[in-house]
Protein backbone atom coordinates (compact mmCIF):
# COMPACT_ATOMS: atom_id res chain seq x y z
CA UNK A 1 0.00 0.00 0.00
CA UNK A 2 1.34 3.37 -0.91
CA UNK A 3 1.09 6.41 1.45
CA UNK A 4 -1.44 9.00 0.41
CA UNK A 5 0.93 11.73 1.53
CA UNK A 6 4.65 10.93 1.39
CA UNK A 7 5.97 10.51 4.93
CA UNK A 8 9.50 11.39 3.89
CA UNK A 9 8.79 14.67 2.17
CA UNK A 10 5.59 16.05 3.67
CA UNK A 11 5.28 18.27 6.74
CA UNK A 12 2.71 15.84 8.09
CA UNK A 13 5.31 13.09 8.04
CA UNK A 14 7.84 15.35 9.74
CA UNK A 15 5.43 16.25 12.51
CA UNK A 16 4.54 12.66 13.42
CA UNK A 17 5.97 11.27 16.65
CA UNK A 18 8.54 8.53 16.13
CA UNK A 19 6.20 5.65 16.89
CA UNK A 20 3.47 6.99 14.57
CA UNK A 21 6.02 7.66 11.84
CA UNK A 22 7.40 4.13 12.05
CA UNK A 23 3.90 2.62 12.05
CA UNK A 24 3.00 4.51 8.89
CA UNK A 25 6.32 3.76 7.24
CA UNK A 26 5.89 0.05 7.92
CA UNK A 27 2.64 -0.04 5.93
CA UNK A 28 4.07 1.88 2.97
CA UNK A 29 5.39 -1.00 0.90
CA UNK A 30 4.93 0.55 -2.54
CA UNK A 31 7.18 3.54 -2.06
CA UNK A 32 8.31 4.89 -5.49
CA UNK A 33 11.39 6.42 -3.81
CA UNK A 34 12.43 3.06 -2.41
CA UNK A 35 11.89 1.23 -5.69
CA UNK A 36 13.68 3.95 -7.68
CA UNK A 37 10.61 4.83 -9.74
CA UNK A 38 10.99 8.40 -8.59
CA UNK A 39 14.17 10.28 -7.71
CA UNK A 40 14.75 10.53 -3.93
CA UNK A 41 14.89 14.16 -2.81
CA UNK A 42 17.55 15.25 -0.30
CA UNK A 43 14.91 16.17 2.30
CA UNK A 44 13.74 12.54 2.38
CA UNK A 45 17.29 11.31 3.05
CA UNK A 46 17.74 13.93 5.78
CA UNK A 47 14.49 12.99 7.44
CA UNK A 48 15.24 9.30 7.22
CA UNK A 49 18.65 9.90 8.81
CA UNK A 50 17.02 11.98 11.55
CA UNK A 51 14.45 9.27 12.20
CA UNK A 52 17.16 6.62 12.19
CA UNK A 53 19.05 8.51 14.90
CA UNK A 54 15.87 8.99 16.90
CA UNK A 55 15.10 5.27 16.49
CA UNK A 56 18.57 4.37 17.65
CA UNK A 57 18.14 6.53 20.73
CA UNK A 58 14.71 5.10 21.47
CA UNK A 59 16.10 1.61 21.09
CA UNK A 60 18.95 2.49 23.48
CA UNK A 61 16.49 3.85 26.02
CA UNK A 62 14.29 0.79 25.72
CA UNK A 63 17.31 -1.45 26.07
CA UNK A 64 18.36 0.45 29.18
CA UNK A 65 14.92 0.19 30.69
CA UNK A 66 14.77 -3.48 29.93
CA UNK A 67 18.17 -4.13 31.48
CA UNK A 68 17.34 -2.00 34.49
CA UNK A 69 14.09 -3.90 34.94
CA UNK A 70 16.03 -7.14 34.68
CA UNK A 71 18.45 -5.87 37.32
CA UNK A 72 15.58 -4.87 39.53
CA UNK A 73 14.09 -8.33 39.14
CA UNK A 74 17.48 -9.86 39.97
CA UNK A 75 17.81 -7.62 43.04
CA UNK A 76 14.32 -8.58 44.15
CA UNK A 77 15.05 -12.22 43.58
CA UNK A 78 18.28 -11.93 45.57
CA UNK A 79 16.37 -10.07 48.25
CA UNK A 80 13.75 -12.79 48.43
CA UNK A 81 16.46 -15.43 48.68
CA UNK A 82 18.09 -13.41 51.45
CA UNK A 83 14.77 -13.07 53.28
CA UNK A 84 14.10 -16.77 52.93
CA UNK A 85 17.55 -17.57 54.25
CA UNK A 86 17.01 -15.22 57.16
CA UNK A 87 13.54 -16.66 57.81
CA UNK A 88 15.02 -20.18 57.79
CA UNK A 89 17.71 -19.07 60.24
CA UNK A 90 15.10 -17.45 62.45
CA UNK A 91 13.02 -20.62 62.31
CA UNK A 92 16.01 -22.69 63.41
CA UNK A 93 16.75 -20.16 66.13
CA UNK A 94 13.12 -20.20 67.20
CA UNK A 95 13.02 -24.00 67.33
CA UNK A 96 16.28 -24.04 69.26
CA UNK A 97 14.83 -21.40 71.52
CA UNK A 98 11.65 -23.39 72.13
CA UNK A 99 13.64 -26.54 72.88
CA UNK A 100 15.91 -24.61 75.21
CA UNK A 101 12.89 -22.99 76.88
CA UNK A 102 11.24 -26.38 77.32
CA UNK A 103 14.44 -27.81 78.79
CA UNK A 104 14.65 -24.89 81.18
CA UNK A 105 10.98 -25.22 82.07
CA UNK A 106 11.33 -28.94 82.78
CA UNK A 107 14.41 -28.32 84.91
CA UNK A 108 12.56 -25.59 86.81
CA UNK A 109 9.52 -27.80 87.31
CA UNK A 110 11.72 -30.59 88.65
CA UNK A 111 13.35 -28.10 91.00
CA UNK A 112 9.97 -26.83 92.15
CA UNK A 113 8.83 -30.39 92.80
CA UNK A 114 11.97 -31.10 94.80
CA UNK A 115 11.41 -27.97 96.81
CA UNK A 116 7.79 -28.86 97.38
CA UNK A 117 8.84 -32.28 98.66
CA UNK A 118 11.34 -30.64 100.98
CA UNK A 119 8.79 -28.10 102.19
CA UNK A 120 6.24 -30.85 102.71
CA UNK A 121 8.69 -32.87 104.75
CA UNK A 122 9.58 -29.81 106.78
CA UNK A 123 5.92 -28.89 107.28
CA UNK A 124 5.03 -32.29 108.82
CA UNK A 125 7.63 -32.84 111.52
CA UNK A 126 6.83 -35.70 113.88
CA UNK A 127 8.78 -35.58 117.08
CA UNK A 128 9.04 -38.41 119.52
CA UNK A 129 9.22 -36.30 122.69
CA UNK A 130 9.19 -39.29 124.98
CA UNK A 131 9.17 -43.01 124.61
CA UNK A 132 5.82 -43.86 123.00
CA UNK A 133 4.75 -40.21 122.78
CA UNK A 134 4.71 -38.53 119.34
CA UNK A 135 3.95 -34.88 118.72
CA UNK A 136 2.82 -33.56 115.35
CA UNK A 137 2.67 -29.77 115.35
CA UNK A 138 0.38 -28.51 112.55
CA UNK A 139 1.04 -25.10 111.02
CA UNK A 140 -0.81 -23.51 108.12
CA UNK A 141 -3.41 -24.96 105.78
CA UNK A 142 -3.95 -28.62 105.21
CA UNK A 143 -4.74 -29.83 101.73
CA UNK A 144 -5.32 -33.37 100.53
CA UNK A 145 -1.70 -33.89 99.61
CA UNK A 146 -0.35 -32.58 102.90
CA UNK A 147 -2.95 -34.49 104.90
CA UNK A 148 -2.08 -37.67 103.04
CA UNK A 149 1.64 -37.13 103.67
CA UNK A 150 0.97 -36.30 107.35
CA UNK A 151 -1.23 -39.34 107.85
CA UNK A 152 1.15 -41.65 106.08
CA UNK A 153 4.14 -40.47 108.14
CA UNK A 154 2.23 -40.48 111.39
CA UNK A 155 0.95 -44.03 110.81
CA UNK A 156 4.47 -45.11 109.93
CA UNK A 157 5.91 -43.53 113.08
CA UNK A 158 3.14 -44.85 115.34
CA UNK A 159 3.71 -48.30 113.97
CA UNK A 160 7.50 -48.05 114.04
CA UNK A 161 7.74 -46.62 117.53
CA UNK A 162 4.77 -48.56 118.89
CA UNK A 163 3.56 -45.21 120.10
CA UNK A 164 0.98 -45.08 122.80
CA UNK A 165 0.15 -41.43 122.29
CA UNK A 166 0.01 -39.18 119.25
CA UNK A 167 -0.50 -35.48 119.99
CA UNK A 168 -1.75 -33.29 117.12
CA UNK A 169 -0.86 -29.80 118.24
CA UNK A 170 -2.96 -27.08 116.59
CA UNK A 171 -1.34 -24.11 118.38
CA UNK A 172 -0.02 -22.87 115.00
CA UNK A 173 -3.41 -23.00 113.31
CA UNK A 174 -5.14 -19.60 113.52
CA UNK A 175 -8.06 -20.40 111.35
CA UNK A 176 -9.44 -23.53 109.87
CA UNK A 177 -12.01 -24.35 107.25
CA UNK A 178 -14.43 -27.21 107.22
CA UNK A 179 -12.37 -29.30 104.83
CA UNK A 180 -9.23 -28.96 106.97
CA UNK A 181 -11.13 -29.78 110.13
CA UNK A 182 -12.51 -32.86 108.46
CA UNK A 183 -8.99 -33.90 107.46
CA UNK A 184 -7.78 -33.58 111.05
CA UNK A 185 -10.60 -35.72 112.35
CA UNK A 186 -9.81 -38.26 109.67
CA UNK A 187 -6.18 -38.42 110.80
CA UNK A 188 -7.24 -38.86 114.42
CA UNK A 189 -9.58 -41.73 113.63
CA UNK A 190 -7.15 -43.52 111.38
CA UNK A 191 -4.31 -43.30 113.89
CA UNK A 192 -6.62 -44.55 116.63
CA UNK A 193 -7.19 -47.70 114.57
CA UNK A 194 -3.52 -48.58 115.20
CA UNK A 195 -4.19 -48.48 118.90
CA UNK A 196 -2.58 -45.15 119.70
CA UNK A 197 -4.43 -42.62 121.77
CA UNK A 198 -4.83 -39.36 119.87
CA UNK A 199 -4.87 -36.03 121.70
CA UNK A 200 -5.68 -32.71 120.07
CA UNK A 201 -3.97 -29.78 121.76
CA UNK A 202 -3.77 -26.01 121.40
CA UNK A 203 -7.19 -25.69 119.80
CA UNK A 204 -8.22 -22.08 119.46
CA UNK A 205 -11.78 -20.85 119.76
CA UNK A 206 -12.12 -20.28 116.02
CA UNK A 207 -11.07 -23.87 115.37
CA UNK A 208 -13.47 -25.23 117.96
CA UNK A 209 -16.36 -23.40 116.32
CA UNK A 210 -15.57 -24.93 112.97
CA UNK A 211 -15.27 -28.41 114.47
CA UNK A 212 -18.62 -27.93 116.22
CA UNK A 213 -20.30 -26.92 112.98
CA UNK A 214 -19.24 -30.19 111.34
CA UNK A 215 -21.68 -32.06 113.57
CA UNK A 216 -19.32 -35.00 113.89
CA UNK A 217 -19.12 -37.38 116.77
CA UNK A 218 -16.13 -36.01 118.68
CA UNK A 219 -16.71 -37.97 121.85
CA UNK A 220 -13.79 -40.28 121.20
CA UNK A 221 -11.38 -37.34 120.80
CA UNK A 222 -9.27 -36.22 123.72
CA UNK A 223 -8.63 -32.50 123.58
CA UNK A 224 -6.33 -30.42 125.75
CA UNK A 225 -5.88 -26.64 125.87
CA UNK A 226 -2.11 -26.63 125.49
CA UNK A 227 0.67 -28.89 124.38
CA UNK A 228 2.01 -28.84 127.90
CA UNK A 229 -1.26 -30.25 129.27
CA UNK A 230 -1.30 -32.84 126.55
CA UNK A 231 2.21 -33.95 127.44
CA UNK A 232 1.25 -34.15 131.13
CA UNK A 233 -1.71 -36.23 130.13
CA UNK A 234 0.67 -38.62 128.43
CA UNK A 235 2.66 -38.79 131.62
CA UNK A 236 5.65 -37.02 130.22
CA UNK A 237 5.84 -34.55 133.09
CA UNK A 238 5.20 -37.24 135.70
CA UNK A 239 7.97 -39.38 134.36
CA UNK A 240 10.39 -36.46 134.60
Partner 1 sequence: MIRAVTVSATHDDPFTAGRDASAELLADLGRAPDLVLLFSSAKYDAARVLEGVHSRLPAGVPLVGCSSYAEIDTEQALTSSVTAMGLLLDGIELQTFQVAGRGVDSFAAGREAGAGLAAFSPSLVITFPDVLDMNATQFLLGLQDTLAKDTPIVGGASADDGAFRATYQFHGQSVTSGGAVGVALKGRLAVATAAKSGYTPIGAMHTSTRVENGKELLEIDGRAALDLYRDYLGERAAQMPAVSIEFPIGVVGGIAGTQRQVDDSLLLVRAIFNVDEPRGALILGGDIPQGATIRVTRATKQDVIRGADEATVQALESMPDPDVALIFSCMSRKSVLGPRFPEECQASFARLPAGLPKCGFYTFGELSPVQGVTMHHESTYTIVLLKALS
Q: To the nearest whole angstrom, how small is the minimum distance from the Cβ of residue 69 to partner 1?
A: 9
Q: What are phi and psi of 206, to 5 degrees?
A: -60, -35
Q: How far is the CB of 63 from partner 1 (least distance, A)?
A: 8
Interface with partner 1 includes 18 (CB under 8 A)? Answer: no
Distance CA 62, CA 68 (A): 10
On whether the CB atoms of residues 173 and 210 are closer than 8 A, the answer is: no
CB of 82 to partner 1, least distance (A): 7
Among 60, 186, 213, 228, binds partner 1 (CB under 8 A): 60
What secondary structure letter does DSSP report for 239? H
Which one of 5, 19, 49, 64 is in contact with partner 1 (CB under 8 A)?
64
Contact with partner 1 (CB under 8 A) among 18, 41, 46, 57: 57
Name the segment binding partner 1 (CB under 8 A); options: 16-24, 75-83, 176-184, 198-206.
75-83
Question: Is residue 70 a contact partner of residue 37, using CB atoms and an 8 Å limit?
Answer: no
Is there binding between residue 103 and partner 1 (CB under 8 A)?
A: no
CB of 56 to partner 1, least distance (A): 9
Residue 114 sits in the site that holds partner 1 (CB under 8 A): no
Under 8 Å between Cβ of 166 and 137: no
Where does residue 142 rank: exposed (0-12), middle (13-18), buried (19+ CB within 10 A)? Answer: buried
β-bridge mates for residue 136, sequence order: 168
Q: Are 172 and 139 in contact (CB under 8 A)?
A: yes
Q: Nearer to partner 1 by C-beta: 21 or 130?
A: 21
Q: Which residues bind partner 1 (CB under 8 A)?
A: 57, 60-61, 63-64, 67-68, 71-72, 75-76, 78-80, 82-83, 89, 93
Amino acid sequence: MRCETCLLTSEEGASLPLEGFLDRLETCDECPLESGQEPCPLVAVERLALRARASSRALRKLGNRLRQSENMAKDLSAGIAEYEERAAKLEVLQQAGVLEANRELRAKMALVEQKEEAILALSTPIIEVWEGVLVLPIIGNLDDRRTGEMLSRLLEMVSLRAAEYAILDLTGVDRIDAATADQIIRICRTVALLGAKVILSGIRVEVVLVLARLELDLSSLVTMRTLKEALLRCGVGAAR
